[in-house]
Structure 1
Amino acid sequence: MKGRFYARTVCTTDLNKMSGKQGVLDRKGWYVKALPSGDEWPQDLSLAPQFKQARVDTLPGALKFGVDKFTNKECMATRKLLARQRETVDGKIIEKLSFGEYTWRKYSEVLECVELVGSFMFELGFGIGDRISIFAETRADWFISAMGCLQQRVAVCTVYTTLSDDAIVHALTETEVKMVFTSCEVLPRLSRLLKRCPNVTRIVVMEDQLDGVGDTSHVPESVSITPFLQILNSGKVNPSARLVNPKSTDVAIIMYTSGSTGTPKGVELTHHNIISSVVAYSCQMQVDETDRYLSFLPLAHILELACEVALIALGITIYYSSPFTLTSSSPKIASGSEGDSILARPTYMNSVPLMLDRILKGVSQAVERQGRVKKAIFYAVVANKQWLDRIPFLGKFLDGLIFRKVRAELGGCLKRVVIGGAPLSSETHLNFRAIFGCTLQVGYGSTETASCISGMVEEDPTTGHCGGPCLNVFLRLADWEEGNYKSTDKPFPRGEVLIGGPCVARGYFKRPDETKETFFEEGGERWFRSGDIAEMDNLGRVRIIDRKKDLVKLKHGEYISLGNAEATLKTLNVVDNMCIFAESTRDKIVAVVVPVLEVLRKIATNVGFKDSDMTLEHLCQDTCVNNAVLKALQAHGRRCGLSRYEIPAAVRLTAELWTPDSGLVTAALKLRRKQLGQQYRDMVRDMYTCLGD
């Protein structure tokens, strides 16, 4: 195989031999990344030596490890739901929730709940080789259910609640699960689909705090219903259930990808795969038992699941939230009720770039209302924050004077944010870090590698990359001739990212042909072809520059990275989301943009509209407004250093929000290009017709 530029942090793929140190392979072409802390990871933070000593090699083992160390410490926190009501906002009926304080389960209580679930599964006869599915939003009960099943060597098939009906049915049918753990909130939807899933004979419903299990009248008579609290309130654990010991080679999770390119695929991940990621995270997160973590990303995503396992092993308290209740301005927070982050006061959270962009746009809209002078001061400080912080006491003074109220919306204690799922623009990285006074660690991973490939170290002040390879990860760049990316490129090697090591999954569930195409064995290692194109600098840091499926060659022979251009252009305040379209028979690219209404109304006023309450649909159809957004987008692209080929020549606005429910983005909020292309086919054709291209 062509290409011989590699990076790795340890020599061994045996978790029992991992010491937390870097290793150097005496082989031509190997490269070991440099670390600010020298040739060892901080031993007090790394779980590698601790797991080795305690012989932890499974996910329930990692939970037990945390419980033994932090028995009486708060482990999982959930807010008390006080009331539910419905309000009309911009013509749409939205559910509004009123919350009380957070309540906790201690570490010992979490383990007790897990063992009760495990005993329930044991008494029903579930064991090695069986599978169940979890179809529920992120919550403490999700984690407890998964761990209880894994204790009994039952594989957990995770399904995003935001997948399409067909995708959900596909996942439940392909895995032939007999039992589904679900929640009151999504039970109505699951009830409609159960007739298409004849294998499912039992559902366990995680109750709503106000409505209990909810309406079960539409559940087929052939399906039995078990309330989750009934399991937890049984109060007894079958002693025989405690004798079951999962193996590191067992398939722990069959995780269905969000399907950005087609039908979701189930990725088979063993305990060994996920524990390797857990250990790698512990080396880079630099957290301790005083930290507080805010969880709102889907636990059905491997990044969130592996991260929470690591945090529990490290003694962190996890506060559960959702993207709809995160801040006081979140869409489901009722008037007079505070957002989750204000009460949780997190020091650490995971996020995706789209969430950060939306938070910053909310800040921008609030600043716009402060007047011209205050706005100018605010943005001047943001732009120069990294230099102002070097002046003694000035940085802290400005934090208290200018950013205190903004930071309070996320609790006021945020120290670090880990970013994954999509590229993060340098502008968003710098602005979020300046405004919220925290570090941003961009990571790179995939479901097929248990989310573990590379990650930034916290001390790194630079942007535009996703750090060096994680602990115990091989990273190799293979030449891609068609795209003209080679490992011999100067000044830095480029190519398709290939990943090897213990994090690499067994393959795709029931898809031997795709498994054979994507995974391979070489040099005693299992490897995964990512399809991502990366450049690696002289410190071994990875910068994703393209993706094979996102790369389009225009008529003049120039390659355009759609994802890179979108990540940059989405930082413009009027853009909520966007998709760039390009055809190989054309010389230019075009874009469809989902606008931010409040900003769009200001643009409309500037081009002569006097009706400030004009609807989003009307504004999106107006030619003058579309042209004004196009000019703003083109100017922004030039300021950000995009080439003329990466800047859209035409733009159309759409009033349709792109949500997972619409099928236009995945559950991880990635664009589904095929579906978007079908949805806006006529609009794209009209743009090219007007361009005469």
Structure 2
Amino acid sequence: MSAITTDMNDVKRLFDVPAYQLNKFPNAAMFVTKMEGNWVPMTTDEFVALANQISKGLVELGISVGEKVAIVSPNRVEWNILDIAIQQVGAIVVPIYPNISENDYVYIFNDAGIKHAFVGGIDLAHKIQGVASKISSLEKIFTFDKMDGFAHYKELVELGANLPQNTITQLKANVRNEDLATIIYTSGTTGNPKGVMLSHNNLLSNVLACKPSIPADENSRVLTFLPVCHVYERMLHYLYMYCGSSIYFAESMDTIGENIKEVKPHVFTAVPRLLEKVFDKIMAKGDELKGFKRRIFFWAIAVAEKYDTVGMGFWYNFKLSIARKLVFSKWREVLGGEVTAIASGSAALQPRLAQIFLAAGIPVLEGYGLTETSPVISVNCLKKGIRIGTVGPLIDGVKVKIAEDGEILVKGPNVMMGYYNLPDKTEEAIDQQDWFHTGDIGMFVEDKFLKITDRKKEIFKTSGGKYIIPQAMENKFKESRFIEQMVVLGEGQKFPAALIVPSFSFIKEWATRKQIDVSKATNEEIAANPQVIERIQQEVDKFNAGFGHWEMIKKFHLLPKELTTEGGELTPTLKLKRKIINEKFEAIIKGFYTE
């Protein structure tokens, strides 16, 4: 793979990015963390100095070139410091989700041969310590929070205090652009996680190619809350650093709304699930309105539902301008009032949702990629164009071709080095012509905009030989305000069926309006309520009308609680673990076809 020689100048390794910012855009608020009610900044100079000090401590600790070092923590500035410090000594960063199972921790630590791990708070430290006996390689756990019984990561500053900086300078000089930088273990919807090996060049090529798509510069504030251990948010952190932007850490998923109002971000990333929840809250507020205000609100929604990025005439644009002034301006205020882009990734975004947000003047830019492609392959953007229902034009330097069976194949500097310890899996994924096989089915719209239709492995046939594309159906049905989550099933069966998680909060509002008393009912009681089941049947019938007769959902079952990562039904990036779901709800699913 050729090295990057474009306008990135001397940025050839990931750890060059903070030094580049220090040289070109020294920032008084490079990273900003909320502590005891106040937003506390860390300067670029402080960040680079601390990363260098930690690097010296790692050398004195005995961490060698090529050693795999784990970081297990929610988002915080220490994560980024260790990421850079580890790379600078030629070691390999292994980022791990903080909410995976103990079995996955054991598998990943053993597969990567982890000797040293850096973890966040006390719960994580005890969780990893609890399985340490099953990890023969593990020597020491450092924590970001000070706690009894564990070494604090800043002990490395003192440990390396007498080591000359020239030692780190020489180690950095030995790291090449094409060298392995990180192993990211994919969450995996089936089987054990696979370790994706990414070089400095893989990730830096993506940073450079995505820069024109993300409107961020040295004056921008960005809010980060998606896990930085996920390749998408991590690549964007490098991009934000390269642009000189200020990165603010949201306190938690529960405080995002409040943090957005405080930070007034120009850019942030989101998964479709979050945008769905934001939209549901907005619609719930609309339902509370009375009289003229309520009519105006839902008129504006109706206008937005007809929005398109091309071909809208004068009369439509006039109505939209009124809707934006009277209704959608308030939506933008909720998001801080200064948002120039929301980057959406990780899963498919409902086209209707994209339509409404874009109409509201909130630019949701849906993109597409995989861990194996560092990650971005294509993205809707303000410069190259936006098409609703697609994942946008290809980024520069990346090639895509559609195989005969519809699978998306990718070639470019962003394609991974391979799977760690899995040469057979690598050969399956990357063919002899260097095309990476994504496992996704897609097509081009207008010969420019990539459209994803489904996962190759998730498409299934009924016993009648008809193909069912579950993801497309699930996304459509979730447009219903009554439906929170949905899983379409029925491989090898006569017809498709579905597991549905109702939107319990909305159903309670609906029930109050219909004078149905569920105010004290549990979720189990609501899911079993005949009137609720009948109302959701009406929704299913409505959306069924948009599909072929062989695709129509013939039976469904309401689940009393959400599918979650903690419950094992979702990956850390909120994708459905269909195999686990099939096993977990086997009795219910059998009931669809035996009754």
**TM-score normalised by L of structure 1:** 0.80
Which shifted more, 547-556 or 644-653? 644-653
Does residue 206 (structure 1) correspond to residue 144 (structure 2)? The answer is yes
Which shifted more, 534-543 or 379-388? 379-388
Q: Residue 583 and residue 372 in structure 1: after superposition, are their counterparts in 2 closer, same or farther (change >3 A)?
A: farther
The Cα of 1:148 is off from its aligned counterpart by: 0.6
CA distance in structure 2 between the partners assigned to 1:50 and 1:425 by the alignment? 36
The Cα of 1:649 is off from its aligned counterpart by: 1.6
Q: Residue 235 and residue 622 in structure 1: after superposition, are their counterparts in 2 closer, same or farther (change >3 A)?
A: same
Q: Residue 643 and residue 77 in structure 1: after superposition, are their counterparts in 2 closer, same or farther (change >3 A)?
A: farther
Answer whether contact 1:115 1:148 (CA < 8 A) is retained: yes
Does residue 472 (structure 1) correspond to residue 397 (structure 2)? The answer is yes
Partner deviation per Cα, 1:544-598 (whole Å, 9 max, x = no partner): 1122111011233221111111112122112222211122231x21111122212
The aligned runs of 1:112-123 (5 Å cut-off) are: 112-123=49-60
Does residue 517 (structure 1) correspond to residue 391 (structure 2)? The answer is no
Does residue 14 (structure 1) correspond to residue 24 (structure 2)? The answer is no
Does residue 652 (structure 1) correspond to residue 525 (structure 2)? The answer is no
**1:309 matched to which residue of 2?**
238
Does residue 166 (structure 1) correspond to residue 107 (structure 2)? The answer is no
The Cα of 1:314 is off from its aligned counterpart by: 0.7
**1:269 matched to which residue of 2?**
198
**2:273 matched to which residue of 1?**
354
The aligned runs of 1:403-552 (5 Å cut-off) are: 403-435=328-360, 437-459=361-383, 460-480=385-405, 495-522=406-433, 526-552=434-460
The Cα of 1:606 is off from its aligned counterpart by: 7.0
CA distance in structure 1 between the partners assigned to 2:142 and 2:509 by the alignment? 49
Partner deviation per Cα, 1:184-209 (whole Å, 9 max, x = no partner): 152232222222223211111111xx
The aligned runs of 1:360-439 (5 Å cut-off) are: 360-371=279-290, 373-385=292-304, 386=307, 398-435=323-360, 437-439=361-363
CA distance in structure 2 between the partners assigned to 1:392 and 1:565 by the alignment? 31
CA distance in structure 2 between the partners assigned to 1:173 and 1:121 by the alignment? 21
CA distance in structure 2 between the partners assigned to 1:687 and 1:566 by the alignment? 18
Which shifted more, 279-288 or 231-240? 231-240
**1:7 matched to which residue of 2?**
none
Answer whether contact 1:577 1:594 (CA < 8 A) is retained: yes
1:294 partner letter: L
Instruction: Identify, as 1 or 2, the structure richer in helix.
Output: 2
Which shifted more, 386-395 or 681-690? 386-395
CA distance in structure 2 between the partners assigned to 1:244 and 1:286 by the alignment? 34
Partner deviation per Cα, 1:112-132 (whole Å, 9 max, x = no partner): 121122111111122321110
Does residue 192 (structure 1) correspond to residue 100 (structure 2)? The answer is no
The aligned runs of 1:22-61 (5 Å cut-off) are: 49-51=6-8, 54-61=9-16
Answer whether contact 1:607 1:625 (CA < 8 A) is retained: no
**2:217 matched to which residue of 1?**
288
Answer whether contact 1:568 1:637 (CA < 8 A) is retained: no
1:528 partner letter: F
CA distance in structure 2 between the partners assigned to 1:612 and 1:439 by the alignment? 37
What number of residue pairs does the alignment pair up? 583
Which shifted more, 355-364 or 567-576? 567-576
Q: Residue 294 and residue 642 in structure 1: after superposition, are their counterparts in 2 closer, same or farther (change >3 A)?
A: farther
**2:183 matched to which residue of 1?**
254
Answer whether contact 1:603 1:625 (CA < 8 A) is retained: no
2:529 aligned to which of 622, 634, 642: 622
The Cα of 1:77 is off from its aligned counterpart by: 0.7
Answer whether contact 1:153 1:250 (CA < 8 A) is retained: no
Which shifted more, 416-425 or 243-252? 243-252
CA distance in structure 2 between the partners assigned to 1:322 and 1:577 by the alignment? 26
CA distance in structure 2 between the partners assigned to 1:405 and 1:235 by the alignment? 52
**2:26 matched to which residue of 1?**
71
Bigger relative contact order (CA 8 A; separation at least 6): 1
Partner deviation per Cα, 1:492-514 (whole Å, 9 max, x = no partner): xxx21111111111111111111
Gaps of 5+ in 2: none
**2:496 matched to which residue of 1?**
589
Answer whether contact 1:133 1:158 (CA < 8 A) is retained: yes
Partner deviation per Cα, 1:423-456 (whole Å, 9 max, x = no partner): 1111111122334x22121111001111121111
**Per the alignment, in what secondary structure is the counterpart of residue 506 of structure 2?**
helix
The Cα of 1:396 is off from its aligned counterpart by: 6.2
**Per the alignment, in what secondary structure is the counterpart of residue 520 of structure 1?**
coil
The Cα of 1:234 is off from its aligned counterpart by: 7.4
Q: Residue 149 and residue 593 in structure 1: after superposition, are their counterparts in 2 closer, same or farther (change >3 A)?
A: same
Identity fraction in percent: 25
Answer whether contact 1:440 1:458 (CA < 8 A) is retained: no
Gaps of 5+ in 1: 1-12, 18-48, 83-99, 208-212, 217-224, 329-338, 481-494
CA distance in structure 1 between the partners assigned to 2:317 and 2:366 by the alignment? 28
**Per the alignment, in what secondary structure is the counterpart of residue 197 of structure 2?**
strand
Q: Residue 235 and residue 402 in structure 1: after superposition, are their counterparts in 2 closer, same or farther (change >3 A)?
A: farther
CA distance in structure 2 between the partners assigned to 1:388 and 1:181 by the alignment? 56
The Cα of 1:520 is off from its aligned counterpart by: 2.5
The Cα of 1:274 is off from its aligned counterpart by: 0.8
Q: Residue 389 and residue 600 in structure 1: after superposition, are their counterparts in 2 closer, same or farther (change >3 A)?
A: farther
Does residue 679 (structure 1) correspond to residue 584 (structure 2)? The answer is yes
Query: After TM superposition, which residue ranges in structure 1, 4 or more long, deviate above 6 angstroms?
Result: 387-394
CA distance in structure 2 between the partners assigned to 1:241 and 1:294 by the alignment? 32
CA distance in structure 2 between the partners assigned to 1:657 and 1:148 by the alignment? 39
The Cα of 1:659 is off from its aligned counterpart by: 1.6
The Cα of 1:322 is off from its aligned counterpart by: 5.4
1:238 partner letter: P
**Per the alignment, in what secondary structure is the counterpart of residue 384 of structure 1?**
helix
Q: Residue 465 and residue 604 in structure 1: after superposition, are their counterparts in 2 closer, same or farther (change >3 A)?
A: same
Q: Residue 123 and residue 457 in structure 1: after superposition, are their counterparts in 2 closer, same or farther (change >3 A)?
A: same
CA distance in structure 1 between the partners assigned to 2:20 and 2:314 by the alignment? 40
1:299 aligned to which of 228, 238, 256: 228
The Cα of 1:399 is off from its aligned counterpart by: 3.8
